[in-house]
């Protein structure tokens, strides 16, 4: 699920036409440590590479955020 959200977000940045601004920096916030590690290791999906190459993004910041921390049953659900 996390990978799909990142894919859709990058596709949106690539085709965003609401303003004429070009974006040079994207920030990925996720509660999935494994997803953050895959991005940092360069294990990205082909769609991500294509979207990034077609966009003006030259820097991506990855931020791990606490998701459902201390929510009963969350770890089991994940």
Q: Which two tokens stand for residue 44?
A: 């990205």
How is the chain split into domains, by residue range? 22-77
Residues 32-56: tens digit of each pLDDT: 888 778 777 777 677 777 777 777 7
Residue 25's alpha-carbon distances to 21, 35, 38, 57, 70, in angstroms, are 12, 19, 19, 5, 32
Q: Which two tokens stand for residue 78?
A: 């994940």
User: Residue 57: pLDDT above 60?
Assistant: yes
Would the pTM count as exceeding 0.85?
A: no
User: Residue 13: pLDDT above 70?
Assistant: yes
SS3 51: helix
């Amino acid at each position: 699920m996390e990978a799909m959200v990142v894919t859709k977000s990058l596709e949106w940045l690539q085709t965003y036409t609401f303003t004429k601004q070009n974006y040079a920096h994207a920030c990925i916030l996720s509660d999935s440590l494994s997803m953050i590690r895959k991005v940092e290791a360069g294990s990205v999906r082909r769609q991500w590479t294509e979207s990034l190459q077609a966009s003006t993004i030259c820097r991506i910041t990855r931020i791990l955020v606490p998701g459902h921390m201390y929510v009963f049953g969350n770890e089991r659900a994940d």
